[in-house]
Structure 1
Amino acid sequence: MIEIGGLPAHVLLVHAVVVLAPIAGLGAIVYAVARRWWGYLAWPLGVLSLGLVPVTLLTAQAGEQLEKVRPASALVHEHAQQGDVLKVVSVIFFILVAAMLIVTYEPFGRRLAFLGGLRGNRTVRGALLIAAALAGAFFIYQSIITGHSGAASVWAR
């Protein structure tokens, strides 16, 4: 079992996901609806969405290890299932955010000249903005549901 300072790592890592996932989701939503914020949000949103993938996967792995050494209840199993969904959502969220940033934010798009046709296509740009905003909303929702099921598994008696 992965431990940090004698505590199960899942107990500590989960806080990064619970805090950063909703921030990233909200950032994607704001980016999609407020063009004037693109210059401010592009890099932080890209880095945050990329960083959340390994943090989410590591947190889930630490949780699975913790589940093996502690008695598991139905609530723990529900939390593990929600965590599995959150892992997939974090990867999909990153892919959509990366695609949105490449197509909408000039400094990213300049480096990828082969995407010139996509960058000029308003339909593609609009579809990616909508998809990333929806993914951001679902990322927020799934992180709340997963966190709630985890808290219920610990505190419900």
Structure 2
Amino acid sequence: MIEIAGLPAHILLIHAVVVLAPIAGLAAIVFAAVPRWRGQLAWPLGVLSLGLVPLSLLTAQAGEQLEETRPASALIREHAEQGDVLKAVSVVFFVVVAAALIAGYDPIGRHFSFLGRLRTNPAVRMTLLVLAAVAGAFFIYQSIITGHSGAASVWAR
């Protein structure tokens, strides 16, 4: 089992995911909705969404190792299922955010000039920005649901 300072790593890593995922989701929504803030949000959003992928995967791996040391219960199984969904959502969120950054923020998009008209098409840009906002909202939702099921599996009697 992965441990940090003698504690199961999952217990420590999950706090980073539970805090950073809603921040990233909110940033994606604001990036999509407020054009004048895109310049300030682009790089932090890109770095945060990229960083959450390995963090989510590592947290889930540590959780699976912790699960093996605990008695099985319906609450733990539910939390593990929600964690599997959160892993997938973090990857999809990153892909959608990367596409929205390329289409919606010109200093990043210029490096992808090979995409030509696809990148500069207003309908494509708007679609990707809407998808980024929806992905951000779902990332917030899934992180809350996963965190709640984890807390319930620990604290419920």
TM-score of the aligned structures, taking structure 2 as reference length: 0.99
CA distance in 2, matches of 1:5, 1:66: 15
| Match of residue 153 from structure 1 | 153
| Match of residue 41 from structure 1 | 41
Give the total of aligned pairs. Answer: 157
CA distance in 2, matches of 1:34, 1:46: 16
CA distance in 2, matches of 1:104, 1:86: 25
CA distance in 1, matches of 2:98, 2:38: 13
| Match of residue 75 from structure 1 | 75
Corresponding position: 1:94 with 2:98: no
| Match of residue 106 from structure 1 | 106
Find the residue that maps to 1:137 and give its secondary structure: helix
| Match of residue 54 from structure 2 | 54
Gaps of 5+ in 2: none
Quote the offset at 1:119 in angstroms: 2.3
CA distance in 2, matches of 1:99, 1:32: 12
Moved more, 64-73 or 27-36: 64-73
Quote the offset at 1:24 in angstroms: 0.2
How large is the Cα RMSD of the aligned pairs? 0.6
Quote the offset at 1:116 in angstroms: 2.2
**Residues 87-126 of structure 1, C-alpha deviations (whole Å, 9 max, x = no match):** 0000000000000001111111111110221222010000
Q: Percent identity?
A: 76
TM-score of the aligned structures, taking structure 1 as reference length: 0.99
CA distance in 1, matches of 2:141, 2:62: 22
CA distance in 1, matches of 2:66, 2:47: 29
| Match of residue 137 from structure 1 | 137
CA distance in 1, matches of 2:72, 2:2: 18
